Amino acid sequence: MTQVTGPAAVDVEKPEDGITPPSRFDTAAVGELLLGRWAAIRRESRRLAGLPELAGIGGLTMEEHRERVSAQLKYLVDSGSVHRAFPAELGGEDNHGGNIAGFEELVVADPSLQIKAGVQWGLFGAAVLHLGTREHHEKWLPSIMNLEVPGAFAMTETGHGSDVASIGTTAVYDPAAEEFVINTPHRGAWKDYLGNAAKDGLAAVVFAKLVTLGVDHGVHAFYVPIRDAQRNFLPGVGGEDDGLKGGLNGIDNGRLHFDSVRIPRTNLLDRYGQVHPDGRYTSPIASPGRRFFTMLGTLVQGRVSLDGAAVAASKVALAIAVKYAAERRQFNAASELEEEVLLDYQRHQRRLLTRLATTYAASFAHEELLEKFDAVFSGAQDTDADRQDLETLAAALKPLSTWHALDTLQECREACGGAGFLAENRFTALRADLDIYATFEGDNNVLLQLVAKRLLADYAKEFRNADFGALARWVAAQAADATLHRTGLRQVAQAVADSGSGRKSASYLKDENTQRQLLTERVSTMVREVAADLKRASKLPQAEAAALFNSRQHELIEAARAHAELLQWEAFTRALPGIDDGDSRQILTWVRDLFGLGLVEKNLAWYLMNGRLSAQRAKTLGDYIHRLLQRLRPFALDLVEAFGYGPEHLRAAIATGAEQQRQDEAADYARRLRASGSAPLPEKVARQRDKAAARLKQDLA
Amino acid sequence: MTQVTGPAAVDVEKPEDGITPPSRFDTAAVGELLLGRWAAIRRESRRLAGLPELAGIGGLTMEEHRERVSAQLKYLVDSGSVHRAFPAELGGEDNHGGNIAGFEELVVADPSLQIKAGVQWGLFGAAVLHLGTREHHEKWLPSIMNLEVPGAFAMTETGHGSDVASIGTTAVYDPAAEEFVINTPHRGAWKDYLGNAAKDGLAAVVFAKLVTLGVDHGVHAFYVPIRDAQRNFLPGVGGEDDGLKGGLNGIDNGRLHFDSVRIPRTNLLDRYGQVHPDGRYTSPIASPGRRFFTMLGTLVQGRVSLDGAAVAASKVALAIAVKYAAERRQFNAASELEEEVLLDYQRHQRRLLTRLATTYAASFAHEELLEKFDAVFSGAQDTDADRQDLETLAAALKPLSTWHALDTLQECREACGGAGFLAENRFTALRADLDIYATFEGDNNVLLQLVAKRLLADYAKEFRNADFGALARWVAAQAADATLHRTGLRQVAQAVADSGSGRKSASYLKDENTQRQLLTERVSTMVREVAADLKRASKLPQAEAAALFNSRQHELIEAARAHAELLQWEAFTRALPGIDDGDSRQILTWVRDLFGLGLVEKNLAWYLMNGRLSAQRAKTLGDYIHRLLQRLRPFALDLVEAFGYGPEHLRAAIATGAEQQRQDEAADYARRLRASGSAPLPEKVARQRDKAAARLKQDLA
């Protein structure tokens, strides 16, 4: 625990009645809670991520970085750390949640390593695993697992990223030859941004529209060899290097195109759709739409793992920046002899501790997502509804956590000033690498729109089977609610209840049920209002319906974000009872309050406009947040220590205690100088002395 | 002008009474207005910035990049483009504003080139120019100007960045030898992050505490040779390379330290403080504090030019992203045959056009800052008050524009998806380079705090000489004001006035005086409230006063930000009459409204809490902003074209029309396929056909 010094140490806050302030934070217990169900695998993966041979190195050329990462992938194979999701009979562990948990931690070594591994085993290999059948597994998985065959996941095209259903590549079945013929019809249909495509890939899982007997059955996946052993393109296959990127330059992203490339019929990964030798098409899923989404759904693990990796990167950034902020001093304020510790400045606390709170929330929410993912993929809870819930949850959380990571890395960079900009302090490279996490495996805005559509659908479903009476009652209740909120009657009641007391308002704000109610009501009201606006869309011609929907797009996406934030808050709140130690639970509860009230503050205008908070209460919110920051200040170092990353993971010069050593040295120098009596006099003092001497001389004269 | 298609084209908005919608935007006239007073110099500098030999190249090693930039600097010397600020008698032009205008545009070539030039001529050279006297100019400026002597600006130390007054390096005068002895007392006092220090620098302007005859006269600047012609450190000088950075790797940043390095007495840059041979110290500025700030003030041009460079980078980013968004299509909505253009999506408009509006505001505000800078540095208006105003203005605008550039570059990157992440599309490298602009030449948070202190001081000054009666009247007025706002009486009046009419509310919001009043009242109220809270600080012991101040730090900085936003809004508003063409002025007025109302929306909670807007009016704000976005959509391409950057500046593959070509090719392919009659049937249609055939067969049977 840190000794609090400087201006923030002066307690301007009255102690609360009957509460003994917590004095210790059990970093071990909280650390264990954060590690979650797959703690052992996370620890093992962190051990690997801390090895010098797996660590990213700054300043490599693109070619050197690619070579290094390719070699590191072999190391991962040898250490047996990337096969957990594969079938036990092929040497795997059928452990889906554990696999992702371990995979996420690799981001701490080098995001290029993580994503290159993700391409090979999480996309290319997983497509064969989940879209193929036993014969495919036996034929291709062993060489994918042991990296004999590096492969690309050829889904995205230059012309279509988020809208996979509209890709242009075709696979037309030729019954005479019992082969599929793969073609790229135009430049926009080139496969693009594919890891392993520029250099290493020998094969690819290619997504193409399956056409047989003149019928287009929509997007399916095909196993397509693309290079020979000498790494020359096979006949009909072409491509190019995507070249330098903003980050992740250890991965050889590239483009592929196909000119009448023939593959055997059996190279169709046919779990969800089969083509018989005569060209007949069959599928266990009758609806082409549902079939498409089922196939894509098997790939949800990409989003799940990016969510976790983003949380891990945020933890590393905060661990570095908080450690530095607790040592670094700048500007005199409280005393002439000693400068202030950065972390004692209110603004610095606002910048770092609010993001610390969000990181805790995102971490607990991710653990729940991972549990859900494991339940579905292990088959333990694998209904259609479960799969849909998993997809919605992943689509909600991944945007928030990836944006949060970028925001946190940048704020930490700036909070460390010029030192934060040096490559040796990690922030800039991590940020450059994680940049793309915001748009790959689903553009964040598109994902949130998916979530919003699900919210609207759920809302509509609620009333689909309701009789007229139920709907009328609901409308009446809604109207009453609107009246109450819109006229500000509830506001007036709050104002009267508080009667100007900040204490009463604070106890209202810190109440768990208050926070839940505020966050929940915002989501439900936003969804209800947009749904009401969009209701008439179903009766409009397509273009007008689209225009109406478009006129509410921004609000829709904001509703989805509010929903995702609520999910994070609920996960954090559910995690709190997992800490037995009262002091630690109290401190974590403050962190949760900081997160929840930070959300309320961010959306305060909504709460005021919709009569959920009175202006009187709203005005106390900022002060209460600052009180929380002050309370958490003494535990800031503990809170980042609980993340469990050691120096081998942080690998930042400013997080080694070097700054403390410099501060001590400078303070020691100043002390010795003062003691020596040879310190120069400040000009101001010297001038006063001279004036006094002159006066004395005059008096004596 | 662009043809609007897709969902947004359906006009859901009623035309306003008596207003003919504008049909054309005069990009040339608006472009000229944006170029400002130094248009000719900007054009010449843009011509240079568009040359292939000055353009940044991706993928260079740090060493290669450094070499390239060093060579480019010689090119700048030869083209005579970097001497405008230097004295005419030495081959310069005494043109301070024009010099900065030209310098800013270099960011478009490569930020490393810009900042390396800034180090040499804007910091190292400018320090000799502004802190030295004629003798120094004649002795050192020619070789600085022609780059014979590359130099470092050695102010920042590892231990002290923003707090220059606390640096540790000392320069002790030795009257016997008539020399200063420069010393680095401890590791924290190493000079750090200095461009030209790692490799190229032969000399440095070193900031150190001047000690003579036992008195410390505070920080002064000294001209110190650091390397010999073979680039070996001179005796007593040492240093190291800062190594790889998050960006700007074409600059050789490094550290320097000094061990009893002796320089002649005359190497003190002594415009503001002289040491006579016998060691006597004299200065034209009696107060050591004022002297220090006067010396630092001569370096304000760094902040001014970063403000302009950040605006230029934002313009480049938006020009690329808007062009791509106007060509790129994704997802069917309004029609099954054609996908929607990205820029027709409301969310996409929100993301790009709001930032476009802020960029216009920042551009006009920067032009005013540059005029002010020129007035001071040319001597036309150079009182103490002018200098202070200039410094406050620069400290207010630089944080906003540099943060805005980072935010804009990132949003543009994401808005272009995977393509945005490729180095060939510019965003990522520009963002990486500009990252440090947020903390160098003054940490943005520290600068805003300076602005806030100035606001508080001005506020206090207003009442310093007021008699008791004036103060009492003011307090009474304030109280009346508080009563009116806090009880919500004004809100009620607004609600009654609007009586539910969105039209009335919109005409209220778009009124220039409304916007001004809203933005102005927020600043004045925030300052007044913080000032009232801090009033008792003057009577408290230092530590308690510091704690009180710290407890309001966040609000203080937010008040400074509000002030800076108001400055941007006022500058935009003042610029509007500069456009003669009515249509163009109307369109620019919408852009200004979008900026102003975007600020109100961002701070809506404040307006509601403080009774400046009724919930009824606040609720119409979002819709009105969306109407503005729709109105501006047809002019989006024109608005970025007016920035005046050509393909030689954008240098982005996605801004060349390549996407339109791909879209055309894909549409043409689809058309030909449909026309050929050989297009495969979608499975859904085929199944309906089969069912119908089966029924027919049954019927016939």
Last residue of a domain, one of B244, B263, B286: B286
Of B8, B488, B548, the CB nearest to A547: B8
Assess B549–A contact: CB distance below 8 Å, yes or no.
yes
Assess B15–A contact: CB distance below 8 Å, yes or no.
no
Q: Is A70 strand, coil or helix?
A: helix
State how far Cα A465 lies from the chain centre.
37
Give the chain A residue nearest B686 (alpha carbons).
A215
Cβ–Cβ contacts within 10 Å for residue B298, how many? 18
What residue type is B211 in one-letter code? V
Give B332's strand partners: B339
- Residues A589-626, buried b or exposed e (16+ Cβ, 10 A)? bbbbbbbbbbbbbebbbbbbbbbbbbbbbbbbbbebbb
Which residues, numbered 647 to 676 in chain A, qualify as contacts with chain B under a Cβ-Cβ cut-off of 8 Å?
661-663, 665-666, 669
Write the burial class of residue B163 (CB in 10 Å: 0-12 exposed, 13-18 middle, 19+ buried): middle
Give the chain B residue nearest A60 (alpha carbons).
B61
Which residues, numbered 577 to 596 in chain B, qualify as contacts with chain A under a Cβ-Cβ cut-off of 8 Å?
none
> What is the rounded CA–CA span in Å between residue B519 and residue A629?
29
> What is the rounded CA–CA span in Å between residue B557 and residue B523?
11
- Residues A648-666, buried b or exposed e (16+ Cβ, 10 A)? ebbbbbbbeebbeebbebb
Q: Which of A322-331, A471-480, B444-453, B592-601 has the lowest mean pLDDT?
A: A471-480
List the CATH number of the domain containing B179: 2.40.110.10
Assess B7–A contact: CB distance below 8 Å, yes or no.
yes
Q: Are residues B553 and B662 in the same domain?
A: no
Task: Kindly report, residue by residue over B337-386, the tens digit of the pLDDT.
Answer: 889 999 999 999 999 999 999 999 999 999 999 999 999 999 999 999 99
Q: How far is CA B540 from CA A434, B44, B537, B546, in A?
A: 48, 57, 5, 9
Q: What is the pLDDT of residue B471?
A: 52
Distance from CA of A22 to the nearest CA of B (A): 22
Residue A216 belongs to a domain: yes
Task: Kindly report, residue by residue over B304-339, the tens digit of the pLDDT.
Answer: 999 999 999 999 999 999 999 999 999 988 888 889
Of A162, A428, A661, the CB nearest to B435: A428
Give the chain A residue nearest B678 (alpha carbons).
A214
* Chain A CB contacts of B10 below 8 Å: 543-544, 546-547
Give the chain B residue nearest A542 (alpha carbons).
B334
Which residues, numbered 86 to 145 in chain A, qualify as contacts with chain B under a Cβ-Cβ cut-off of 8 Å?
none
Number of residues that this document lists for chain B = 701
Residue B15 belongs to a domain: yes
Q: Are residues A280 and A408 in the same domain?
A: no
Q: Which of A450, A554, A540 is nearest to B10 (CA)?
A: A540
Q: What is the pLDDT of residue A498?
A: 62
Residue A520 belongs to a domain: yes
Cβ–Cβ contacts within 10 Å for residue B405, how many? 31
Which residues, numbered 205 to 224 in chain A, qualify as contacts with chain B under a Cβ-Cβ cut-off of 8 Å?
209, 211, 214-218
Q: Which two tokens stand for residue B561?
A: 């930000």
> What is the rounded CA–CA span in Å between residue A58 and residue A68?
12
Q: Which of A520, A430, A490 is nearest to A613 (CA)?
A: A490
Q: Are residues A359 and A328 in the same domain?
A: yes
Give the CA radius of gyration of chain B: 30
Q: At what angle do helices A502-509 and A582-602 cross, to 10 degrees?
A: 100
Distance from CA of A484 to the nearest CA of B (A): 14
Q: What is the pLDDT of residue B473?
A: 61
Q: Are residues B266 and B322 in the same domain?
A: no
Pairing of strands A191-194, A274-275: unpaired
Q: Which domain holds residue A543?
A: 470-641
List the CATH number of the domain containing A325: 1.20.140.10
Q: B487 pLDDT band (50/70/90 cuts)?
A: very low
Assess B547–A contact: CB distance below 8 Å, yes or no.
yes
B166 backbone dihedrals φ, ψ, rounded to 5°: -100, 15
pLDDT exceeds cutoff 50 at B72: yes
Beta-carbon separation of B414 and A10 below 8 A: no
A154 backbone dihedrals φ, ψ, rounded to 5°: -95, 75
Beta-carbon separation of B615 and A615 below 8 A: no
Beta-carbon separation of A684 and B288 below 8 A: yes
Beta-carbon separation of B439 and A421 below 8 A: yes
Cβ–Cβ contacts within 10 Å for residue B699, how many? 7
Q: Look up residue B327 and give its DSSP letter.
A: T
Q: Are residues B587 and B667 in the same domain?
A: no
Q: Are residues B279 and B328 in the same domain?
A: no
Residue A456 belongs to a domain: no
Beta-carbon separation of A247 and B160 below 8 A: no
Distance from CA of B66 to the nearest CA of A (A): 13
Q: Which of A554, A447, A435 is nearest to B410 (CA)?
A: A435
Number of folded domains in chain A? 4
Q: Are residues B242 and B304 in the same domain?
A: no
Give the chain A residue nearest B422 (alpha carbons).
A245
- Beta-carbon contacts of residue B148 (< 8 Å; ≥ 6 apart): B142
Assess A550–B contact: CB distance below 8 Å, yes or no.
yes
Q: Are residues A593 and A675 in the same domain?
A: no
Are residues A588 and A579 in contact, defined by beta-carbon separation less than 8 angstroms?
A: yes
Beta-carbon separation of B166 and A344 below 8 A: no
Of A161, A420, A542, the CB nearest to B418: A161
Distance from CA of B360 to the nearest CA of A (A): 23
Q: Which two tokens stand for residue B79?
A: 């083209």
Q: What is the pLDDT of residue A117?
A: 98
Alpha helices by DSSP H, A437-488? 444-464, 468-486
Cβ–Cβ contacts within 10 Å for residue B231, how many? 11
Task: Kindly report, residue by residue over B173-227, the tens digit of the pLDDT.
Answer: 999 999 999 999 999 999 999 999 999 999 999 999 999 999 999 999 999 999 9
Residue B56 belongs to a domain: no
Average confidence score pLDDT of chain B: 92
Of B186, B406, B662, the CB nearest to A188: B662
Residue A496 belongs to a domain: yes
The helix or strand, by DSSP H or E, that contains position A339, with its residue range, turns out to be strand A339-341
Pairing of strands B215-225, A681-682: parallel
Q: Dihedral sign for Cα A539, A543, A547, A549, please.
A: positive
Q: Is A433 strand, coil or helix?
A: helix
Q: Are residues A263 and A346 in the same domain?
A: no
Q: Is A546 strand, coil or helix?
A: helix
Q: Which of A31, A420, A162, A44 is nearest to B417 (CA)?
A: A162
Beta-carbon separation of A683 and B215 below 8 A: yes
> What is the rounded CA–CA span in Å between residue B443 and residue B437?
9
Distance from CA of A245 to the nearest CA of B (A): 4
Beta-carbon separation of A339 and B166 below 8 A: yes
Last residue of a domain, one of B264, B286, B308: B286
* Chain B CB contacts of A7 below 8 Å: 543, 546-547, 549-550
Residue B412 belongs to a domain: yes
Q: Which of A149, A151, A131, A150 is nearest to A291 (CA)?
A: A131
Q: What is the pLDDT of residue A145?
A: 98
Pairing of strands B151-154, A274-275: unpaired
Along chain A (701 residues), what's the average pLDDT of each consecutive run of 10 residues? 40 52 95 98 98 96 97 96 95 97 98 98 97 98 98 97 93 98 98 98 98 97 97 98 98 98 98 98 96 89 97 98 97 88 97 98 98 96 93 97 98 98 98 97 95 90 62 55 51 58 81 95 92 88 93 96 97 97 97 98 97 94 97 98 98 97 96 93 92 89 76
Which residues, numbered 26 to 65 in chain A, qualify as contacts with chain B under a Cβ-Cβ cut-off of 8 Å?
58-59, 61-62
Beta-carbon separation of A439 and B418 below 8 A: yes
pLDDT exceeds cutoff 60 at B77: yes
Q: Are residues A661 and A626 in the same domain?
A: no
* Chain B CB contacts of A439 below 8 Å: 414, 417-418, 420-421
Task: Kindly report, residue by residue over B99-146, the tens digit of the pLDDT.
Answer: 999 999 999 999 999 999 999 999 999 999 999 999 999 999 999 999
Q: Which two tokens stand for residue A277?
A: 């030798």
Q: B495 pLDDT band (50/70/90 cuts)?
A: low
Beta-carbon separation of B244 and A423 below 8 A: yes
pLDDT exceeds cutoff 90 at B526: yes
Q: Is A264 strand, coil or helix?
A: strand
- Beta-carbon contacts of residue A608 (< 8 Å; ≥ 6 apart): A615, A618, B604, B605, B608, B609, B615, B618
% of chain B beyond a pLDDT of 90: 84
Q: Which of B419, B433, B434 is nearest to B652 (CA)?
A: B419
C-alpha neighbours within 13 Å on the C-beta side of residue B471 = 10
Give the CA radius of gyration of chain A: 30
Assess B155–A contact: CB distance below 8 Å, yes or no.
no
Beta-carbon separation of B166 and A332 below 8 A: yes
Q: Is B72 strand, coil or helix?
A: helix
Q: Dihedral sign for Cα A637, A643, A645, A646, please.
A: positive
pTM value is 0.94
> What is the rounded CA–CA span in Å between residue B601 and residue B588?
19
Beta-carbon separation of B163 and A331 below 8 A: yes
Q: What is the pLDDT of residue A465?
A: 59
Q: B462 pLDDT band (50/70/90 cuts)?
A: confident
* Chain B CB contacts of A666 below 8 Å: 159, 168, 186, 188-189
Quote ipTM for the complex: 0.94
- Beta-carbon contacts of residue A622 (< 8 Å; ≥ 6 apart): A601, B554, B555
Assess A611–B contact: CB distance below 8 Å, yes or no.
yes
Give A124's strand partners: none
What residue type is A525 in one-letter code? T
Beta-carbon separation of B186 and A662 below 8 A: yes
* Chain A CB contacts of B444 below 8 Å: 414
* Chain B CB contacts of A168 below 8 Å: 666, 669
Write the burial class of residue A381 (CB in 10 Å: 0-12 exposed, 13-18 middle, 19+ buried): middle
Q: Are residues B525 and B668 in the same domain?
A: no
Last residue of a domain, one of A422, A438, A454: A438
Beta-carbon separation of B436 and A418 below 8 A: yes
The full DSSP string for B354-400 is HHHHHHHHHHHHHHHHHHHHHHHHTTTT--HHHHHHHHHHHHHHHHH
Residue B48 belongs to a domain: no
> What is the rounded CA–CA span in Å between residue A606 and residue B615?
9
Beta-carbon separation of A439 and B417 below 8 A: yes
Assess A278–B contact: CB distance below 8 Å, yes or no.
no
> What is the rounded CA–CA span in Å between residue B166 and residue A333?
13
State how far Cα A263 lies from the chain centre.
38
Of B246, B423, B554, the CB nearest to A346: B554
Q: Are residues A504 and A571 in the same domain?
A: yes
Q: What is the pLDDT of residue B606?
A: 97
